[in-house]
Amino acid sequence: MPARPPRAPDASDPPSHPLPLGARAAKKVEPAAPAAPGARLAANQLRRMRRIVDAAVDLAEKGGFEAVRLRDVADRSDVALGTLYKYFRSKEDILLFALNEEMDVLEQAMAARPSANGTALERAVEFFRRATRAIARRPQLARAMIRAMAAGDADTVMKLAFLQLRIARLVVATLRGEAPDLAKPLDQPAGSATEQAIAQVLMNVWFSSLVGWAAGLHPERVVTEHIRTGAGLILAPPAAP
């Protein structure tokens, strides 16, 4: 049987590369001159993805995780449900994408204003305080994102792994009191093995405490207190009796 010719790309197909993080400007910027058909196609796809993510974030801000129903997201973003599935496999997938965009903002802030003062312990506590505030400033959305992180969905594991690498890079830079090297590929380890281990432990404490905050077990300030306790045991352990 002769081989089928390759299918021509459809206007609703997603781009072959992921939407750049922090690409909210895509919905505001218009090309200064007529673009080639391929460029117009990519721009249309980016705008479509932007509408999907913005719709999901809006629903989560108003009603939390349960309010993010894919059919409602499709309706609000003015795309067919089948088209939405070409970009995202689940609502967890969309929420983790949005969380990675929040991390993009935090990265830029840390690069512009790195934590250079105080001890490594003080810098670590301040970093996680800033990170917690950045997430928790929109509580309903934050709780939805945290549930997405804890879902254990095989389809979202790559986004979660990517997010952890980004946070670890920021933690290591904070421990050193320097700006993060955002140009360095994430597949290249940040810092020494010891620094990476410290970053991993602190991230585990942070995530566990965020889950407790999301469940209503304690207020936001306690997340920072948990980090202070954990970081203190690692970076400034008490003297042996």
Q: Where are the domains of the chain?
A: 23-87, 91-235
23-87 against 91-235: fold identical: no
Query: For the structural domain made of 91-235, what CATH number should be given?
Result: 1.10.357.10
Dist. CA 123–CA 121, nearest whole Å:
5
Q: What is the pTM of this model?
A: 0.79
The residue to which tokens 């108003």 are assigned: 62
Quick: pLDDT tens for 165-214: 999 999 999 999 999 999 999 888 888 999 999 999 999 999 999 999 99
The DSSP symbol for 118 reads: S
Which phi and psi (to 5°) does residue 6 adopt? -60, 145
- Fold classified for 23-87: Arc Repressor Mutant, subunit A (1.10.10)
Quick: pLDDT tens for 109-147: 999 988 888 999 999 999 999 999 999 999 999 999 999
Dist. CA 33–CA 24, nearest whole Å:
21
